[in-house]
Structure formats: C-alpha cells, structure tokens
Amino acid sequence: MSKLPVLEIFGPTIQGEGMVIGRKTMFVRTAGCDYRCSWCDSAFTWDGSAKDEIRKMSADDIFNELKELGGTRFNHVTISGGNPALLAGMDALVEQLHDHSIEVALETQGSKWQDWMGNIDDLTISPKPPSSMMKTDFGKLDAIINELRSQDRVEKHTSLKVVVFNDEDFEYAVHVHERYPDVPFFLQVGNDDTSTADDDNLTRDLLNKYEWLINKTMEDARMNNVRVLPQLHTFVWGNSRGV
Amino acid sequence: MSKLPVLEIFGPTIQGEGMVIGRKTMFVRTAGCDYRCSWCDSAFTWDGSAKDEIRKMSADDIFNELKELGGTRFNHVTISGGNPALLAGMDALVEQLHDHSIEVALETQGSKWQDWMGNIDDLTISPKPPSSMMKTDFGKLDAIINELRSQDRVEKHTSLKVVVFNDEDFEYAVHVHERYPDVPFFLQVGNDDTSTADDDNLTRDLLNKYEWLINKTMEDARMNNVRVLPQLHTFVWGNSRGV
Ligand code: SF4
Ligand code: SF4
C-alpha cells in the first residue's frame, strides 16, 4: 500500500471556507506543492521549514489516527495541502473513508487530475490569481472541469474558489467564473498578513477587506451568481495552525 | 392582485446567514409575525414601531422596485420578515421572479405552510429555541417537512436553522436535528445585543460566542452532520438595518 506524506491531522473543527463553510470536519494536510504562491498560508508544506514533521503514512495509518482523535464525533474529512492532487495513492484513503460513511472534501488549485477526484464529495478547485505570481494553465483546468462534467460531478460536488487581494485578482475571478458558468463559484478575501499574532487587528483588517470585496461584487453584473466569503477560522483563531 | 405589507426592500448585498451564506441577493422584508421572540432582531416588523413605514404593494410593485434598485446586478431575492409565510398572496411574486430567472429564498420559523413554499429555491426553516420564550408546534413542523419531502424539496432546496443562545437551546437544536435527520442542518450563534452601536465590541463578543458554539458542537457525536455559522453581516455592518 502506497504511503502518503502527511504534515498535520487534526479536528474535529469547522471548515472555515468555501462550499461547506461551517461544516464539522477533520483535516488531513499533505506535504508538497507544485506551486509557490507569493502569499501561501501553508508554505510550511513545501518550503522545507517543516520537513522533519512529515510522516509517511498509509491510508490505514491515517484512518486510525483520525478515529483516535475524532472518535465517533465526525463524519466528514477534508484533505488539504499543499496540493493533495499530486498524490495518486490517495484513492485508498478516500475509499476507506467512504466505506465508513464518512464524506470527503478536497482542496486543490486545479493543476493536476487524479481519478479519485471523481469520488470527492466536496471538491474545491482554487485557481490562483495574478497576485500569487503563479500562472494558471487553463488548458489543464478545462480538462479537469470537463472530466467532472462528464461524470456529472459539477452541480452538487464541485466548486471554484478564487482568493482576491486586489482589482487585478478580481478581474481574474470574473474570467474564471465566465469560463465555467455552470460551476458554483466562491470569492474569498485574501489574508496578506499570515504571521501577525495581533488577532483583533487582523480581524478588523480582514473585515475591511471583506467589505471591499462585497462592494466590488455587488456593483458588478458579471458576478451575480456567486458567493462572497471570508475565512471564518481566521476570525476565531487568528493565524494559529492546527485548529 | 393581492397586496403585500412590505417594510424594506434593499440590496444587492450578501446573505449573511444559513444555507446560502455569502450569496449575492436582494432582500424583501414583510411586516407581521405570529411569534414574539424575546430576542427578535426584527421586532420592528411586528411591534408597531415601524407601522408608518409599511407599504401595501403588489407583486408588480415589488418587482419594479427590486429592478430599480438592483438593475441587472442580481439574480437572487430573499424574502424575510417577520413571517412571510403568513401571506398567501406571495405566490405571484415568486412566480414573477422565476419568470425572470431570479432565484428565491425564504426565511420562516415553520409555523405555517403556504403552497408557494414548494417553489422556493432556498427555504430556511428556523424553529425557535426555548430562550425565545416561544413554543414550537412540532405537529405543524412535521407536516411542513413531510410536505417538502413529498415534493422532493428537502435535499437541495430546504434547510433547518436553529439559533443558539445557551445550553438549553443547544439541546433543542439536537432534538430538531434528530427529528429531521435528512434535512440539511445549520446552527447559528445568537446575537443578544441587537441595539449596541459599538461594532468592535459586538464583533469580539459574537466571535467568543461562536467559538463556544463550535466547541460544543465538536464535542457532541449527535451533531456530526451539521454546519455552524455566525451572522456575517453583523460582523461587517454591526446592528445597522438595510444592508
Ligand atoms: S497552491 Fe496552495 S499550497 Fe500551493 S503554494 Fe499556492 S497557496 Fe500554497
Ligand atoms: S419568528 Fe422571527 S420575526 Fe417573528 S418574533 Fe421570532 S425572530 Fe422575530
């Protein structure tokens, strides 16, 4: 059985973002990413700073640790990264969770397809806007969305989420939404201070940015069928890891 | 054509709560409620304090005012109250909005059924916990949920939402969730200071309460399949009306 590089397993807590915002879930965070976003809030998954914390775990190992932590108090697991879509061997974990009636969410930027992604209950594809300094491969993203469409996964099981830091990012978000109008679409406020420990100021700053993003969206007739959300966990726990 | 008692029409803004949290929407708030919740944040809809602001409007009048305010910048309208389910004549408005490809959400406590409720795209039923001092008629609520089940409206178009202020409210929420396990379920933090203008303190206080509700839910194996949310608009705009 193939081993997966795991950096964090924690919960139960709430999903603070996106299509199942507020959902009670456990988190599994894998190491490794094919991107290097300028404002990555999980840079420790790929910049080497946490490399001694990476554990090579089988699906069984991960499942057992989830059960140890969460007992009977969860039925939803979120796989996050880094980019978990780099890992072909994730199929066994997804199957094992489903066998135990546990739903599975995945967060990925949409740069790679794996066949097990067709079995994800809540799939969030989060292409990165210009401020990240990354370049979206839209040919690849088209292929992924088409694959999901052909498996009838779009309406109920998929969403697109774009993090917005500035006007240029917003235009990028409009482009993504107009390219895939049938995919549920979420705008999310960017957090450009992922190191401060001053939670009150962070909350105030993020609320101001959230209001800015709301106002921009409200004025724009191209962005009617969208949802605009903050990161709730940042309001509650600031920049802490593992909550 | 029957006239509806309308107190507010505003937007576009975001839906700050519940099943379509973050969704760009317009609001229509009707006057009148069959409840008198102790902590009602819309008491002006029924306590007489805003009775001079009530306008008797036809579906056409309401539709025209929505278009005047929102232009082409919306495709979703939320009908709120008070309890809009008191108004049999709402059917014409729902139909007119649908005819223009505009989705319709409704917020009601679940004390009354109207046939047009079977056409609502995002129906939030919000039975009131003990702290409200109201008593839920579960026979009535059973009948409403069964009607929605028989029309196959539950999975995609309906949610239950319970506002929680204290431990007793939480137990009530558990009871509601266990009674209707097939209905998507949302827990919401109660705001017991609906008059303060001190937004920073209000935000901090609501975040503390939100963390309390998250922690309670995380510990409780009866509440796995739920989502726990705050009121986002209160974070952004405090207790202001009409945003
Ligand atoms: S894709 Fe995600 S994990 Fe990878 S660098 Fe960008 S923000 Fe970080
Ligand atoms: S049901 Fe809603 S509008 Fe009516 S009194 Fe209670 S909180 Fe207020």
* Ligand 2 and B35: CB distance under 6 A: yes
pTM, to two decimals: 0.96
Is the CB of B214 less than 8 angstroms away from the CB of A13?
Answer: yes
Q: In this complex, do A21 and B227 lie within 8 Å of one another by their Cβ atoms?
A: yes
Is A242 assigned to a binding site? no
pLDDT digits (tens, 9 = 90+) for B13-39: 999 999 999 999 999 999 999 999 999
Has residue A190 got a pLDDT over 80?
yes
DSSP string, chain A: ---EEEEEEEEEEE--SGGGTTBEEEEEEE---S---TT-TTGGGTSSTTGGG-EEE-HHHHHHHHHHHHTTS-SEEEEESS-GGG-GGGHHHHHHHHHTT-EEEEEE-SS---GGGGG-SEEEE-PPPGGGT----HHHHHHHHHHHHHTT-HHHHEEEEEEE-SHHHHHHHHHHHHHSTTS-EEEEE--S-SS---HHHHHHHHHHHHHHHHHHHHH-TT--SEEEE--HHHHHHTT-S--
The mean pLDDT of chain B is 95
- The alpha carbon of residue A205 is apart from the nearest alpha carbon of chain B, in Å, by 11
Report residue B242's pLDDT band, with 50, 70 and 90 as the boundaries.
Answer: confident
pLDDT tens for A106-125 read: 999 999 999 999 999 999 99
Tell which atom from ligand 2 comes closest to the C-alpha of B43.
8
Give distance in angstroms: CA of A85 to centre of ligand 1: 12
Q: What is the mean pLDDT of residues B166-179?
A: 98
Test site for ligand 1: of A8, A33, A124, most ligand atoms within 8 A of the Cβ:
A33
Fold for domain B4-237?
TIM Barrel (3.20.20)
- Interval B72-117: pLDDT, tens: 999 999 999 999 999 999 999 999 999 999 999 999 999 999 999 9
Please provide the average confidence, as pLDDT, over all residues in chain A. 95
Binding residues of B for S-adenosyl-L-methionine: 39-41, 82, 126-128
User: Can you tell me the mean pLDDT for A182-194?
Assistant: 91
Is the pLDDT at B1 greater than 70, yes or no?
Answer: no
Q: What are the pLDDT digits (tens) for A148-178?
A: 999 999 999 999 999 999 999 999 999 999 9
Question: Tell me, what's the pLDDT at A224?
Answer: 98
pLDDT-derived band at A192, boundaries 50, 70, 90:
confident
Write out chain B residues lying below 8 Å of A20, CB-based.
227
Residue A2 has pLDDT above 90, yes or no: no
Does position A241 have pLDDT exceeding 90, yes or no? no
Task: List pLDDT tens digits, range B153-166.
Answer: 999 999 999 999 99
